Structure 1
Amino acid sequence: MAEHGIFYWNELMTRDTQKAKDFYGKTLGWTFTEMPMEDGTYVVANLGDKPVGGFFPMNAPHFDGIPEHWMSYIAVDNIDERLELAKAHGAEVMRPPFDVPGIGRIAILKDVGGAVQGWMTPAEMAG
C-alpha cells in the first residue's frame, strides 16, 4: 500500500527501451511486461513477481535535447491540494495533474532548487 510522502515509483526515460531491457535484464535479472499506451509502449520492469520500475519511451518531439534519466515519483495523499501547497512554497508545475486510469493522478514539478520529480496520488490511495 502506498503511503503519503514516500518514493513510490521510478521510471527510466529512454529513447531505446529494447537496449534498456537488455542491459537491466542481464545486469539485475529484471523481466519485463509491456503495456500499450497512446504514444508507444510502456515497459514494466519486474524482479520476480514484483514490479520495480518502468521504462518510458521518450519518442515525442518535446523530449528533444533532454538526456535519458531516471524519474522518481513521490506518493501524495491529494495531488491537487499538495501542488497548491508546493506552488505556495516556490515549486513550479511543469505538467499539471493528469489521470492515468488504474494508476493514479500525476503531476510533474520542479522543487525550489530546480530538481524535477513527479508527484502522484496512486489509485490505491484515491479509492
Structure 2
Amino acid sequence: MTGHGHFHWTEFVTRDPERFKTFYARTVGWTYEAQTQPDGECYWVALANGEPVGGIFPTNRPGLEGIPDGWMPYLAVDDIDARVAKAVAAGAQLMKPIFDIPNVGRLAILMQPGGVGVGWITPTQDQSPKST
C-alpha cells in the first residue's frame, strides 16, 4: 500500500465507460472486475495481469452532469479530515463532503487552487488499492 503523500489510486471518469473499457482492453490488455458501489451503481476495477491498476468511474447518471472525461488521481494522506482542513485553508475547495467507502477508505474530492480536481484518501488499514 502507498503511504502518506504518495499517489494511491487513479480512475478514469467518463460518461461512456464501455468505450474506454474497450479502448484499454485492446491497447494495453486490461480486464475488468465489476464492483457495485454503495449507491447501487457499477464501478469497474481495471486489472493488468490480474492485479488492480485503476478504475473506471461512470458519470452517466444523475447528479454527475457536466463532469468532463479524464483521469482522477487519489493522493494518500494520513488524516483526511485534518489534511482537508489544511487544504481548504490554503485555497482548495472541497467539492462534496468527505465520505467513507467501506473497505476502501475515507475520501475527499478537492478543487486545487487553479481549478484542477484531485482526490485524497486515507485508506482503510491493510488494504491494497481498491476502487473509489
> TM-score scaled to structure 1, two decimals?
0.92
Rounded Cα–Cα distance in structure 1 between residues aligned with 2:42 and 2:30: 17
Percent identity between the aligned chains?
47
Deviations 1:56-93 (A, max 9, x none): 11022332233211111100000000011111111111
Which residue of structure 2 lines up, in the alignment, with residue 47 of structure 1?
A: 48
Structure 1 runs not aligned, ≥5 long:
none
Q: What is the 5 A alignment of 1:22-33?
A: 22-33=22-33
Rounded Cα–Cα distance in structure 2 between residues aligned with 1:104 and 1:62: 22
Structure 2 runs not aligned, ≥5 long:
128-132
Which residue of structure 1 lines up, in the alignment, with residue 116 of structure 2?
A: 115
Count matched residues: 126
Which residue of structure 1 lines up, in the alignment, with residue 35 of structure 2?
A: 35
Rounded Cα–Cα distance in structure 1 between residues aligned with 2:40 and 2:23: 23
1:10 pairs with 2:7: no
Which residue of structure 2 lines up, in the alignment, with residue 75 of structure 1?
A: 76
Rounded Cα–Cα distance in structure 2 between residues aligned with 1:81 and 1:106: 12
Deviations 1:73-123 (A, max 9, x none): 100000000011111111111112100000000001111222111000011
Which residue of structure 2 lines up, in the alignment, with residue 60 of structure 1?
A: 61
Give how far 1:39 is off.
4.3
Q: Which runs of 4+ in 1 moved over 6 A?
A: none
Which residue of structure 2 lines up, in the alignment, with residue 105 of structure 1?
A: 106
Rounded Cα–Cα distance in structure 2 between residues aligned with 1:59 and 1:39: 14
Paired amino acid for 2:12: L
Q: Which has the higher helix share?
A: 1
Q: Which has the higher strand share?
A: 1
Greater mean deviation of Cα atoms: 55-64 or 92-101 = 55-64
Q: What is the RMSD computed on CA atoms of the aligned residues? A: 1.5
Which residue of structure 2 lines up, in the alignment, with residue 84 of structure 1?
A: 85
> TM-score scaled to structure 2, two decimals?
0.88
